[in-house]
Amino acid sequence: QVQLVESGGGLVQAGGSLRLSCVASGRTFSSYAMGWFRQAPGKEREFVAAISWNGFSTYYADDVKGRFTISRDNAKNTVYLQMNSLKAEDTAVYYCASSAALGRVRSTPEYWGQGTQVTVSS
C-alpha cells in the first residue's frame, strides 16, 4: 500500500497562511494523482484540491479557488497545499489522499493519510 504522512498544520490567524506537506512511500509516487480533503467536527469530509501525476492538471473546490494552491515534487515524493487568506471556516482536519486515477482522487481516493489539524482564529 501507499503510506501518506501529513505535516504543517497548526494555529493561524484569519488572513494568514500555512503550507501543508504530505510525504508518500511504499509505491511509485510519480504514478499517482494526489489530493487534499478536509473535515470539520460534525461535518462531512469534503474535497479541497487535486493534482495529476505529472502536476500539469489541478482542481479546486469552489470555496478555496484563488486562495489555495496544490503542487507536487515527485523527486521528493511530496505534495503540498499552500493556503493563503485563511478564514475561520477553513478550520478542519486536513487529509492527504492518493489514487491511480485523477478522477477517483477527487471523489473516493484509495489511500489516506492520518490528517493534520488546521485551526484559523477569528
pLDDT tens per residue, range 52-80: 988 899 999 999 999 999 999 988 989 99
Is the confidence at residue 26, as pLDDT, over 90? Answer: no
Query: How does 10-22 read in b/e, with b if 16+ C-beta sit within 10 Å?
Result: eebeeeeebebbb
Bridge pairing between strands 116-121 and 10-13: parallel
pLDDT in tens, 87-113: 999 999 999 999 988 888 888 999 999
* C-alpha torsion sign, points 112, 88, 103, 69: negative
More confident residue, 31 or 9: 9
Query: Taking the CA of residue 5 as centre, how many other CA atoms within 13 Å lie in the half-sphere pointing to its CB?
Result: 5
The pLDDT > 70 percentage for the chain reads 98
